[in-house]
Amino acid sequence: MKIRLADGGKTLWTLVLGTELSETERFAAEELISHFREMTGITLRTKADTSPCTPYEICIGHGRHATLAADIGDAEFGLEDFALSIHADRIVIVGNRCRGTLYGVYEFLEEDLGIRWYTPDFTHIPCRSRVEVEERSCVIRPALEYRETLCVHQGFGDPIWYVRNRLNRAMATPLFGGGVQWAGKQFCHTFHSFVSPEEYYDEHPEYFAWREDKGCRVTGRRAQLCLTNPDVLDIVIGKTKQWLRDNPGANIVSISQMDATKPEDILYCQCPSCKALDEQEGTQAGSILHFVNAVADAIRDEFPYASVDTIAYSYTTKPPKHVKVRDNVILRPCFNGDLLDEWYKVGKRLFIWDYVTNFRHYTLPFPNYDYIESHIRGLMKHKVRGIFIQSTYDTRGTDFNELKCWLYAKLLWNPEKEISNLIPEFMTAYFETAAPPLMQYLDLLRERIRMAGKPPACFVNLPVFYIDNDVLRTADELFDRAEKLACSEEILARVRRMRLSVRFVELMYMDPADPRRPEMVDAYFDDLAELGVDRISERNELVDAKEMVLNFTGLYELSEALPGAGYSPDQI
């Protein structure tokens, strides 16, 4: 049954504010009022829960008016849970006072009123003189405890985009109901935040890893700690407690190894005590997990709400034979697959760290679209409780980065969403008249991935298996059409920014001896700057990248001969 909320600039409906609303619930009411006003031109009237009950009420938060919705019942709500009831003369949105009611308002605005928050600078609010919604009722409890996409253009410094899409880390402020928040300066690779070589090594080299091959305690940014040293444990416990005291809104402290993946950089401790513990557990994760358990035990009484985390990454991905982590320990595997089932036996709170871009080449097309749905749902089958999606995070993106981050946001909130519906919706809204050829381009890349039967990889050089001269030739034709179809300068700029990915591959596939190439490299980097793209790799600045692209050096050295090498722009 359709329920009319507005018609011809008028409404019969009134907003009822529940009793003792939290700051976040009052903000939720303001969000509903402002979005409804922008959609219809109507400012909803408000009244208190102490006023008489009347028909046509939208009830926000717990109260006497909300209890008139029989299908709400006495549901108990976790931090982010809510109930939504839409009936002929009463709409009730009620949930946990922390974030539940707020999320219920966003559910109503998005799923029932058709509002979308695609990017921080692009919100779609349909303008309607008549607004109708379908009768329904539901209780929603998010599938994941922790949901985050890391992408600079999708929320860095803009927590409202996060909260509206129900991503719950960057919005950790009282107004937005808090969230998942790490204490300290970093949320991973934190060993040196506790015990830095600069502060401790000269007087206490015993705090750092002993290496058998070097015959000494090592230092440097890759050096790990000696995790069986009791003084190191005391320092880490003390700083963990202090960080939590200094950050009362935080609920996690990361105690995690320094970043190292190359064999020569992996400098875990091999002193007799650490080595014995790791051999007992059959993995270098053993000493870390025993250490983390000791910290978790030490903070429990003063901070019963807080947890410590550590990562399973690089040399610590193998699960231990014996140790189980405390219930206030979070494990963050930086991988996926069947090994997650073994890690679930070690600890029940798994937060996955997932990579969805090529960190060597941000501008290289990364068409993983057909793996997003199955991947998220597959992780859910492994009983993960949090997912962190790391994309292009330190620059404005190319390669349809905005699309991907929005897709992940939707799937993290509701893993049953269908990519086949979401992609055309976003593309049509964001690129308007230019969308059709751009969707053909995405279909072209997706088909290449399907044919190969494997997804793109995160740390590879060119050439890549899913792009050849035929793909580039078709891509150029499709982007030419898209640029001609762009209906505004803003849309044209979006199309040109996405095309930077294709132009990058063309430059890398060109014959190095082609006399036109230096001028094309200059033009490419000029356009990067014009379109707000600060980096094309995690590893270097644009000025360095330009020199390496020009000379095929560093990251931009081809990993193998190109098929039919020696393309020129005329052949591509």
pLDDT, tens digit (0-9, with 9 covering 90-100), for 139-159 = 999 999 999 998 865 445 578
- Rounded Cα distance, 222 and 49, in Å: 59
pLDDT digits (tens, 9 = 90+) for 184-234: 989 999 999 999 999 999 999 999 999 999 999 999 999 999 999 999 999
The per-residue pLDDT of the chain, averaged, comes to 93
Q: Which of 55, 34, 54, 59 is nearest to 44 (CA)?
A: 34
- Tell me, what's the pLDDT at 264? 83
pLDDT digits (tens, 9 = 90+) for 302-316: 999 999 999 999 999
pLDDT digits (tens, 9 = 90+) for 502-531: 999 999 999 999 999 999 999 999 999 999
Q: How confident is the model at residue 566 (pLDDT cuts 50, 70, 90)?
A: very low
In Å, what is the CA distance from 145 to each residue of 28, 82, 179?
Answer: 21, 14, 10
pLDDT digits (tens, 9 = 90+) for 277-303: 999 999 999 999 999 999 999 999 999
DSSP E strand boundaries for 344-384: 351-355
CB atoms under 10 Å from CB of 335, counted, come to 15
The encoded tokens of residue 261 equal 């993946």
The encoded tokens of residue 503 equal 């132009």
Residue 72 has pLDDT above 70, yes or no: no
Averaged pLDDT, 468-493: 98
- Rounded Cα distance, 410 and 498, in Å: 22
In Å, what is the CA distance from 492 to each residue of 347, 436, 495?
Answer: 49, 14, 5
Residue 563 has pLDDT above 50, yes or no: no
pLDDT digits (tens, 9 = 90+) for 37-59: 999 999 999 999 999 999 999 99
CATH for 2-141 is: 3.30.379.10
Map tokens 């941000």 to a residue. Answer: 362
- Rounded Cα distance, 484 and 487, in Å: 8
Q: Which of 483, 413, 548 is nearest to 81 (CA)?
A: 413
- Rounded Cα distance, 7 and 122, in Å: 26
Overall pTM surpassing 0.85 (yes/no): yes
Q: What share of the chain is helix, strand, coil (3-state, %, to 5)?
A: 40, 15, 45
Sequence-distant contacts of 553-557: CB under 8 A, at least 24 apart: 555/360, 555/361, 555/461, 556/461, 556/462, 556/508, 557/461
- Domain range list for the chain: 2-141, 184-315, 428-556
Query: CB–CB of 187/169 below 8 Å?
Result: no
pLDDT digits (tens, 9 = 90+) for 344-353: 999 999 999 9
DSSP codes, 509-531 = HB-TT-TTHHHHHHHHHHHHHHT
For residue 138, list its beta bridge partners.
84
Query: CB–CB of 406/123 below 8 Å?
Result: no
- Tell me, what's the pLDDT at 547? 95
pLDDT digits (tens, 9 = 90+) for 448-470: 999 999 999 988 899 999 999 99
Q: Which of 316, 304, 186, 309 is nearest to 260 (CA)?
A: 316
- Rounded Cα distance, 323 and 346, in Å: 7
- Tell me, what's the pLDDT at 27? 97
The CA dihedral of 180, 183, 188, 189, to the nearest 10 degrees, is -170
Residue 101 has pLDDT above 80, yes or no: yes
pLDDT digits (tens, 9 = 90+) for 399-455: 999 999 999 999 999 999 999 999 999 999 999 999 999 999 999 999 999 999 999
In Å, what is the CA distance from 116 to each residue of 35, 72, 293, 406, 472?
Answer: 11, 26, 43, 10, 33
Q: How confident is the model at residue 338 (pLDDT cuts 50, 70, 90)?
A: confident
Residue 75 has pLDDT above 70, yes or no: no
DSSP codes, 13-40 = -EEEE-TT--HHHHHHHHHHHHHHHHHH
- Tell me, what's the pLDDT at 262? 83
Q: How confident is the model at residue 540 (pLDDT cuts 50, 70, 90)?
A: confident
pLDDT digits (tens, 9 = 90+) for 160-172: 999 999 999 866 6
pLDDT digits (tens, 9 = 90+) for 376-397: 999 999 999 999 999 998 888 8
